[in-house]
Structure 1
Amino acid sequence: MNAEGLRERWATLTRCVCDGARLMVGQGNYDTYVAHIRKTHPDQQPMTPTEFFRERQNARFGVGGRGGFRCC
């Protein structure tokens, strides 16, 4: 395998590991979210990265009666 092929495989592996780590802590991939909104809900404006982070964090910790993980 050539150097370019190895670089591509390394980039793919790194992306998968980072996405997996984000999902483990309740943070989805913002780019995937934006692509989904644009494809399936073209009439809606996507959240900003900050809004997206807060929404995912609130969903994880059960803010607003949404369930989620709670320590107490």
Structure 2
Amino acid sequence: MGAAKEALTRCWLQAVRTARLIIGVPDYDTYVEHMRLRHPERPVMSYAEFFDERMRARYRGGGGRCC
């Protein structure tokens, strides 16, 4: 029963991530993982800073990927 619950949890989390991407809500966890793997020398923004920066980039025509 534990393995089934873990699989269901993984599916649910992936569905939530997909839904957020579809409606344009940025994924903070993916950002943190990216920064720690690709840019360990740079500070990681807080969730509030990240969300604000992503919304500014989205609605002002700026932004994009860093790499």
Q: Shorter-chain TM-score: what band?
A: 0.7 to 0.9
**TM-score of the superposition, structure 1-length normalised?**
0.73
Larger radius of gyration: 1
Separation of aligned partners in 2, 1:9 and 1:24: 23
What percent of counterpart residues are identical?
A: 38
TM-score norm. by structure 2 comes to 0.78
Q: How many angstroms apart in 1 are the aligned matches of 2:42 and 2:22?
A: 27
- Equivalenced residue count is 63
**Structure with greater proportional helix content:** 2
The aligned counterpart of 2:30 is 32
Show structure 2 runs of 5+ residues with no match.
Answer: none
Q: Which runs of 5+ in 1 are unaligned?
A: 68-72
Question: In the alignment, which of 46, 49, 66 is matched to residue 62 of structure 2?
Answer: 66
Q: Which runs of 4+ in 1 moved over 3 A?
A: none
CA pair 25-60 structure 1, distance change in 2 beyond 3 A: farther
